[in-house]
Chains A and B, each alone.
Chain A
Amino acid sequence: GAVVSQHPSRVICKSGTSVKIECRSLDFQATTMFWYRQFPKQSLMLMATSNEGSKATYEQGVEKDKFLINHASLTLSTLTVTSAHPEDSSFYICSASPQAGGTEAFFGQGTRLTVV
C-alpha cells in the first residue's frame, strides 16, 4: 500500500512555543491531505483538510490561526501549532489518498505532542 510518513513521531515543547509537524506522501501524489487530532479515550477528530496550492478548510471549532496548515506541494503538508499550550497536548495524525481515484485513506505514524 501507499506510504505516508509523518515527522516527528514525538515532541515535547515549552508552553508558548510553536511546533511544526510534517506529513509526506512517499510514493504517490496527494492533492488533499487531512489532519486529525485524538485526545485520550476519544475518537480521531478531523481538524482540517489541507489542499495543495490553496487555503486549508477547517472544521468547526478549530482555530485556523492557531493551527497553521501549509500544503506547498503534492507530497507535503505541514501543521504548525502556534503558541502551544498544555491543552494542545494530543496525538496528531495525517492522512492522504492517492490522487488518481484513490479511495483508501493512508495514515501517517502520528505525532505525540506534549506541551509543558
Chain B
Amino acid sequence: KQEVTQIPAALSVPEGENLVLNCSFTDSAIYNLQWFRQDPGKGLTSLLLIQSSQREQTSGRLNASLDKSSGRSTLYIAASQPGDSATYLCAVRRTGGYQKVTFGIGTKLQVIP
C-alpha cells in the first residue's frame, strides 16, 4: 500500500525567502507525481507534474524534483510571496490498473509580509 508523507506539516517564512517542501513515498512503482496547491475551503490547483521518467519540472518560481529510486520529491519555491500562502499537496499516481492517486496530508505554508 502506497503511503505518502510530507514534511514539514507547517512552515512559516518571511517574504522573499527560498524554501523547500518535502514529499516521500513508499512504493517506487509510480506513474507520475503531482504537486498541488489548495487554498482554504477551495479545490486543488495543479502546480507541477513529473512523469516517472523525469527528474524535475520547472514553472516560474517553482521547481519540483523527483528521485524515484529513493522515493522522494521536493518542491522548491524561490523568492516566496504572501500569495504563496496555502497548503501544498503531493500526490503519487501508481502504475497499472486505474492508476490510483495517493495524497500526502500536505504542508501548510505561511509567507509573512
Contact = CB atoms under 8 A, between A and B. Distances in A.
Interface of A: 1, 6, 32, 34, 36, 41-46, 49, 57, 91, 93, 95, 103-110, 112
Contact of B43 (A41, A43, A109): A109
Contact of B51 (A44, A103, A106, A110): A103
B46 A104 contact: yes
B100 A46 contact: yes
Contacts of A109: 42-43
A93 B43 contact: yes
Interface residues of B, number: 23
A6 B93 contact: no
A103 B49 contact: yes
A34 B105 CA distance: 18
A103 B62 CA distance: 20
B44 interface: yes
Nearest to B91: A105
A93 B44 CA distance: 9
Tell me what chain A mostly uses at the interface: helix, strand, loop, or mixed: strand
A45 to B, nearest CB: 8
B43 A6 contact: yes
Given A34-B101, A46-B101, A106 B89 contact: no
Contact of B32 (A43, A103, A110): A103
Nearest to A2: B46
Interface string B86-107: 0001010100001011111110
B41 interface: yes
A18 to B, nearest CB: 23
B106 A57 contact: no
Interface in B1-48: 4, 31-32, 34, 36, 41-44, 46
B92 to A, nearest CB: 11
Nearest to B45: A107
B43 A44 contact: no
